[in-house]
Amino acid sequence: MQTASRSNNTLIDVPRGLTNVVVADTALGEVRGHEGFYNYREYSAVELAEKKSVEEVWHLLLRGSLPTAEQLSKFQPEAPPALHPSTQQALPIIARAAQAGDALAGLRTALALEGAATATRPLFDLNAEDREKDLIQLALKVPVIIAALHRHNTAQDPVTPVPGAGYVENYLRMITGTTPPQEHVAAVSTYLVAAIDHGFNASTFTARVIASTGADAASCLVGALGSLSEPLHGGAPSRVLDTLDSIGTENNIDAWITEKVQSGQRIMGFGHPVYRTEDPRSRLLKKVALGFGGPRVDFAVKVEERVPVLLELLKPGRALHTNLEFYAGVVMEQCGLNRSLFTPTFAAARVLGWTANILEQAADGKIIRPSARYVGPTAPQPVP
């Protein structure tokens, strides 16, 4: 079945899922799936991930240029802003209420509360400068909330961020309670920069739809978080490690993959709706993972190598490559993050990209309001 859009009251057939349908203009970035390439503004996103900090790339997306040293010092806060006292008081309750320590569910709840407690105003009523200010303040609180919820869930006292430590180092410090090795800071920074933005994916598009209504910044970010929580978008990294654990040993790889392919089940960490060649983010994070080395990394590489070989035998002509999530889970595990934190950590990256997309959409001033094709019973019928 096809969906439909309305132009001059005429319904136009479009592909299911809006695949390849252009719904807006953006100057933030582009994903060229047939080339295995994506960019943030005029720069290769992979090259930025290898060379620039999270703060520098966030400045690029928000303000259109990589910052000078002076611009960066003004843009980068000394430390994340403190949560509102009401949110701080509620965090232990939220942590207990989130089922099975679901940090992402807790994050959505706490961020919504933070928006309400700080009386975040509708974007419609704000100028561009105040919109950016609200979005930056809320986005900087995301890693603080994630870390605090994690510490509550693991019966550990929350950790205060260190002034001047930076986005990634403070995040890892607040999670673990210790000063992270620079190797871990560099690896997680590379991952976060690589994940900040990636075209009109489900969560980014959700944020833009909400922004188009003129809603407040917290509503836009919380709505985007809701679309980031499941395996088809954002929730796959932990399942990749579950897959590696399920396979167990090198001798089991072929049998396990064959059974999954023949039964039509998804192999987590493989395939992407846009890329028709190797996902450049996977290539980047594989390089980071190989820098750590060890049995887990070696085994992940072996699994990656066997999947396309077996798929060609079982389903000739059907190419399947690793995506961002495959090595993201491996890298985060190497950096001491447990699986419950994988998707929240992804959110700590993507929230920065959402801020830029929300600002761009709010400036447009046009509500996103597509149409649907009605396929129910013929109307009107007399009401009995």
Q: Catalytic residue at 35? A: no
H/E stretch holding 223 reads helix 217-226
DSSP codes joined into one string, 44-109: EHHHHHHH--HHHHHHHHHHSSPPPHHHHHHHS-SSPPPPPHHHHHHHHHHHHHSGGG-HHHHHHH
How far apart CA 274 and CA 301 sit, in angstroms, is 23
Distances (CA, A) of 165 to 76, 142, 157, 240: 10, 16, 20, 31
Tokens read off for 115: 């928006």
How far apart CA 219 and CA 119 sit, in angstroms, is 12
Is-contact 206 225, C-beta < 8 A? no
Q: Which is catalytic among the residues 55, 114, 325, 333? A: 325
H/E stretch holding 110 reads helix 103-117
Q: Which is catalytic among the residues 132, 272, 333, 360? A: 272
Calculate ∠ Cα 54-145-351, nearest 5°: 40
Residue 246, SS3 per DSSP: helix
Tokens read off for 95: 């942590």
Is-contact 59 67, C-beta < 8 A? yes
Q: 236: how many CB neighbours lie within 10 A of its CB?
A: 25
Q: Catalytic residue at 233? A: no
Bond preceding residue 380 cis, omega within 30 of 0: yes
Catalytically annotated residues:
272, 325
